[in-house]
Amino acid sequence: MQAVSIGPLIFAGDRLAAIVGIGAFMAVTWVLSSRLDPRIGRWSSWALIAGLITARLGHVIENTASFAAEPWRILAVWQGGFSWPWAAASVVAVSVALVRTRRTAIGAVVSLAIALFAWNVVWQLTNATPSTPMPHVALENIKGGDTSMTAFMGKPVVVNLWASWCPPCRREMPMMAEVAAARDDVTFLFVNQGERRTTIEGYLNKEKITLSNVLLDARTDVPRHYATPGLPVTLFIGTDGKLQSVHVGEISREALSGALSRLLAE
């Protein structure tokens, strides 16, 4: 599954891979700087700073229309959203400017190679998504009666696991509701985890959020079925009812749009 739990912390697979890769880069360059050439440390600091800034800047530029409507999200880095080709270009530029000796060049190549290897290992270990079928469980519909998720098969389905006490869920919910209302090619199911009907209705009414398909998962059967940790989690399910991809944590408008495009393409 595309998430890893470490004690109370939950990391999406791609983010954990990035953290491990950056950690490996910093550790290796620290060792090489102290034992091989101090200039490697100066290069690595500027390469890391420039890489992260330009990766975020590149993502914003690639999604200008989306960020123009909500410019504050440029700083919402917790949602993810980095363009690594931009980062690679900036690292190359920093290297051209600062790498002047053979030792520094060797240190740069070794540290980047080890960082990329560490990133790739974690990515490969966490990137697999099992083709899990929809669970055959009856969930209470907020409009009354029981509904099974399998009743929505035949059309791509997006399942958002959420709760009103969860801050990231509350942040992403208005955007999710907006996208769900605008799409008729995908069915959105908002599966609440363990809350009472009155609590859910109170939250939606207070925030003036309208959702078409709200299901109550009182026993948290759905996350157990898919083995997903934490909230929020967004599941992307194909027309055959099998899981295609998972997004763990708060999802951005760009990430949702990209996942929907891949879901419809498959």
d(CA 4, CA 112): 24
Cα(100)–Cα(105) distance, integer angstroms: 7
Report pLDDT for 5: 66
State the CB neighbour count (10 A cutoff) for residue 242. Answer: 14
Question: Which secondary-structure segment (H or E) carries 162?
Answer: strand 157-162
Give the residues across from 165 on adjacent strands.
none
pLDDT at 9: 64
CB 253 within 8 A of CB 179: yes
* 177 CB neighbour count, 10 Å cutoff: 20
Give me the CATH code for the 138-265 domain, please: 3.40.30.10
Q: Is pLDDT above 80 for 215?
A: yes
Residue 3's DSSP bridge partners are 12
Rounded CA gap, 17 and 117, in Å?
10
pLDDT at residue 127 is higher than 90: no
With cut-offs at 50, 70 and 90, classify the pLDDT of residue 114: very high
Average pLDDT for the chain: 92
pLDDT digits (tens, 9 = 90+) for 10-63: 778 888 899 999 999 999 999 999 999 999 999 999 999 999 999 999 999 999
Token representation of residue 172: 């992403």
Q: Is the pLDDT of residue 1 over 60?
A: no
* Residue 228: C-alpha distances to residues 32, 59, 67, 172, 240 (Å): 39, 27, 29, 18, 20
Residue 198 Cα distances to 145, 201, 204, angstroms: 15, 5, 10
Q: What is the pTM of this model?
A: 0.87
Q: Taking a C-beta distance cutoff of 8 angstroms, is the pair 1, 246 a contact?
A: yes
Domains of the chain, by residue range, sit at 3-126, 138-265
The continuous run of DSSP H or E covering 60 comes out as helix 39-62
CA-to-CA dists, residue 178 to 37, 47, 173, 215, 220, angstroms: 54, 39, 8, 18, 25
